[in-house]
């Protein structure tokens, strides 16, 4: 459905916002800076002052306020208020209306009508010297008609097929609902990661400012170099830019949650409870997927629908029996040559035996091809579902391993940065070591956060692949 495609585009936009975890923020050291000579250059009388812009107070931006929303509340809100899902549910009403139309094929139908006939003159005949009216100039009569099919196998099977159509529509909506809720959950975890990066970059801004102050003090005292101050100021500018970008990314993620949940403003995500990973090996998980995935259930229902339609097409070759009843009342004066009874009723039975209609054979071939196509699509969907379970499970196991490695790298990078900062403050280290250590530590921290997000998203994908209801993930 086009509405769910639009929802997917929103999630892709969130993914692009989260890409800063690998691209915008995880920068490398770049070209090596040559070793500078210690001490101020010869002939310099007075040390230069740090850049004036950095001397100004930098106010740490505040997080945009918004109502708190748990992941369970977000999933419930999306289930109730998402416009795309609401529009999809209208398809169920349309198929139920078609089922009601199908019932009209076997239920009685009745109508009444009033018929007035005016002729240019009446018809009469002279009989024994008396003019008798055969056909009056005006004729007004009331008619009530009712009819129903007594035996119509094609209509019976058409109703059965319409019922399957309603079930298929409901399952298709459920499939779209699960994709929507999966997108909400992914957006929620992306927002949490963006929020954690804000705290990380706030720490980096404060650390960079301290480093700049130390470098400026040493330069003014004549024990440091101007290049140390420049590097410290560059690091500070970079940390500030990352912090501002993190705030914008966080607001973008919250905005997407608001749209998906039909909420106003920017919902504030709170820490989500951990999700339990599914138990069982690949074969067991694949078996669960075949039994409970909505898309596979839709394929099965579609195949049953095609089979019902083929059976209904065969019934075109079966005789039908219809019954009709009519009541008539004459309001104007009846003909003088006929009966004086103004009312009468008629009962009619019609047996129709099909002999030849070439359309039936073409329709039968079409229904056979549709059934064969549905069976192939079902088999293909089952194979793809099994492969999806195997792949998402491997991706999740890989993500868990990556989280452990990234955590260790972040710990080591932070420890290395602490050592080079202590060395620099003691006067035995260089600002280049500080710059390299800071960027390495920042990259490692961001990479760790990104790997945690990847693990959460991988687990969501695995649970969705085996057909678990996304609305129960946060329970």
Most confident of the ranges 33-42, 129-138, 250-259: 250-259
Reply yes or no on whether the pLDDT at 113 is more than 70: yes
Reply yes or no on whether the pLDDT at 44 is more than 70: no
> Of the candidates 468, 465, 469, which has an alpha carbon nearest to the alpha carbon of residue 282?
465
Task: Check: CB of residue 403 under 8 Å from CB of residue 339.
Answer: no
Buried b (16+ CB within 10 A) or exposed e, 445-455: bbbbbbbbbbb
DSSP 213-277: HHHHHHHHTTSS-HHHHHHHHHHHHHHHHHHHHHHHHHHHHHHHHHHHHT-SS--EE-PPPPPPP
Neighbours of 83 (CB within 10 A): 13
Reply yes or no on whether the pLDDT at 199 is more than 70: yes
pLDDT tens for 447-461 read 998 899 899 999 999
Give the rounded percent of residues in the chain with a pLDDT score beyond 90.
55
Please give the average per-residue pLDDT across 222-251, as a whole number.
89
Q: What is the pLDDT of residue 25?
A: 34
| pLDDT top residue among 59 and 371 | 371
Reply yes or no on whether the pLDDT at 203 is more than 60: yes
Q: What is the pLDDT of residue 58?
A: 67
Reply yes or no on whether the pLDDT at 272 is more than 50: yes
Most confident of the ranges 197-206, 309-318, 464-473: 309-318
Q: Give 9's pLDDT tier (boundaries 50, 70, 90).
A: very low
Provide the 8-state DSSP code for 316: G
| pLDDT top residue among 32 and 373 | 373
3-state secondary structure of 119: coil
Q: What is the pLDDT of residue 98?
A: 93
Reply yes or no on whether the pLDDT at 252 is more than 50: yes
Least reliable range by pLDDT among 30-44, 374-388, 410-424: 30-44
Residues 6+ apart with CB under 8 A from 141: 114, 115, 328, 329, 330, 331, 332
3-state secondary structure of 301: helix
Please give the average per-residue pLDDT across 270-287, as a whole number.
88
Q: What is the pLDDT of residue 5?
A: 43
Q: What is the pLDDT of residue 235?
A: 87
Q: Give 34's pLDDT tier (boundaries 50, 70, 90).
A: very low
Q: Give 57's pLDDT tier (boundaries 50, 70, 90).
A: low
Alpha-carbon gap, residue 249 to 64, rounded angstroms: 12
Provide the 8-state DSSP code for 473: T
Q: What is the pLDDT of residue 475?
A: 61
């Amino acid at each position: 459905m086009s509405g769910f495609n639009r929802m997917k585009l929103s999630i892709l936009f969130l993914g692009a916002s989260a890409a800063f975890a690998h691209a915008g923020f995880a920068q490398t050291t770049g070209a090596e800076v040559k070793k500078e000579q210690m001490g101020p250059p010869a002939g310099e009388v007075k040390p230069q002052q740090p850049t004036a812009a950095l001397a100004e107070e930098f106010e740490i931006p505040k997080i945009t306020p918004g109502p708190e929303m748990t992941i369970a509340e977000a999933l419930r809100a999306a289930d109730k208020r998402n416009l795309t899902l609401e529009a999809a549910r209208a398809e169920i009403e349309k198929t139920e209306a078609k089922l009601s139309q199908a019932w009209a094929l076997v239920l009685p139908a009745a109508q009444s009508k009033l018929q007035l006939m005016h002729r240019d003159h009446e018809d009469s005949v002279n009989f024994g010297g008396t003019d008798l009216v055969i056909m009056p100039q005006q004729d007004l009569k009331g008619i009530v008609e009712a009819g129903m099919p007594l035996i119509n196998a094609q209509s019976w099977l058409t109703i059965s097929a319409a019922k399957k159509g309603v079930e298929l529509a409901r399952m298709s909506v459920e499939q779209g609902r699960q994709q929507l809720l999966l997108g909400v959950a992914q957006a929620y975890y992306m927002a949490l990661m963006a929020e954690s990066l804000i705290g990380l970059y706030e720490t980096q801004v404060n650390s960079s400012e301290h480093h700049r102050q130390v470098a400026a003090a040493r330069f003014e005292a004549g024990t440091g170099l101007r290049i140390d101050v420049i590097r410290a100021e560059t690091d500070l500018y970079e940390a500030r830019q990352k912090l501002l970008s993190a705030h914008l990314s966080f607001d973008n993620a919250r905005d997407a949650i608001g749209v998906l949940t039909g909420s106003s403003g920017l919902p504030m995500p709170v820490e989500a409870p951990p999700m339990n990973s599914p138990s069982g090996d690949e074969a067991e998980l694949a078996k669960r997927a075949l039994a409970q995935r909505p898309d596979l259930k839709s394929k099965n229902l579609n195949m049953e629908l095609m089979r019902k339609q083929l059976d209904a097409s065969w019934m075109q070759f079966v005789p039908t029996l219809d019954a009709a009843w009519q009541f008539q009342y004459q309001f104007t004066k009846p003909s003088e040559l006929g009966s004086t009874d103004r009312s009468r009723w008629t009962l009619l039975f019609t047996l129709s035996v099909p002999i030849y209609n070439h359309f039936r054979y073409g329709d039968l071939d079409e229904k056979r091809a549709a059934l064969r196509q549905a069976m192939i699509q079902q088999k293909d969907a089952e194979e793809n579902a099994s492969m999806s379970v195997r792949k998402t499970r491997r991706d999740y196991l890989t993500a868990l391993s990556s989280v452990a490695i990234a955590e260790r790298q972040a710990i080591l990078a932070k420890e290395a940065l602490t050592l080079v900062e202590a060395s620099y403050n003691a006067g035995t280290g260089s600002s280049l070591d500080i710059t390299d250590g800071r960027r390495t530590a920042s990259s490692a921290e961001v990479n760790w956060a990104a790997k945690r997000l990847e693990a959460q998203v991988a687990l969501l994908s695995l649970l969705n692949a085996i057909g678990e209801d996304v609305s129960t993930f946060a329970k």
